[in-house]
Copies of this chain bind each other. A is one copy, B any other.
Amino acid sequence: MNKIAVFPGSFDPITLGHVDIVRRAAKIFDEVIVAVGVNSQKKYLYSLDHRLDMLEAVFSSDDKVSVDHFKGLTVNYCKEKAAHFLLRGIRSSGDFDYEKTISQLNHVIGDELETVFLITRPEYSFISSTIVREIIKGKGDVSAFVPAEVNSMLNI
């Protein structure tokens, strides 16, 4: 049976930190699905289509990585995909408390869905989509924080 992991997020936009987590996880699992969670009540800087295009551009030559999107609860999407693993990156102990809560919840409501954590590498630990968006709004340079493919797709 294939070991499939789902890496859920907004990816608004995807950062080098995300890419690192996905590629490290691809050595553990048979398949990693980078899945954009769609929340109609949230405002995004980039449209869903544009975010999916960015993800496709980044992972086009990663055999074990695919790109998708979903609505509703993450646990339901995982069931649908027969994925038994959730993949999450953690940067700090602040992240940890939140991730712990969500992982324990998903284990209960998701038929023993298992969350696997990788810790963000030091050089990416201060990068987040939130911060990248702030710099983009302030007309700053984010080329050190996003993949080259994405950097050329930031103006919309």
A117-B116 in contact (CB<8A): yes
Sampled A-B contacts (19; CB under 8 Å):
A24-B114, A28-B29, A28-B85, A28-B114, A73-B134, A73-B140, A92-B92, A92-B101, A93-B96, A100-B126, A103-B119, A104-B121, A104-B122, A104-B126, A108-B144, A115-B118, A116-B118, A117-B118, A123-B123
B138-A72 in contact (CB<8A): yes
| A interface, CB within 8 angstroms of B | 3, 24, 27-29, 72-73, 75-76, 84-85, 90-105, 107-109, 114-119, 121-123, 125-128, 131, 134-135, 138-141, 144
Sort A-B residue pairs by CB-CB distance and give the 9 closest, nearest first. Answer: A104-B126, A94-B97, A93-B93, A117-B117, A73-B138, A122-B122, A92-B97, A96-B96, A101-B126
| A12 CB to nearest chain B CB (Å) | 16
A79, B96: Cα distance in complex, Å: 29
A128, B134: Cα distance in complex, Å: 23
Could you say which of B93, B109, B116, B117 contacts A94, with CB atoms under 8 Å apart?
B93
A100, B98: Cα distance in complex, Å: 16
A140, B78: Cα distance in complex, Å: 14
A90, B41: Cα distance in complex, Å: 29
Residues from chain B with a CB closer than 8 A to the CB of A144 are: 108-109
B107-A121 in contact (CB<8A): yes
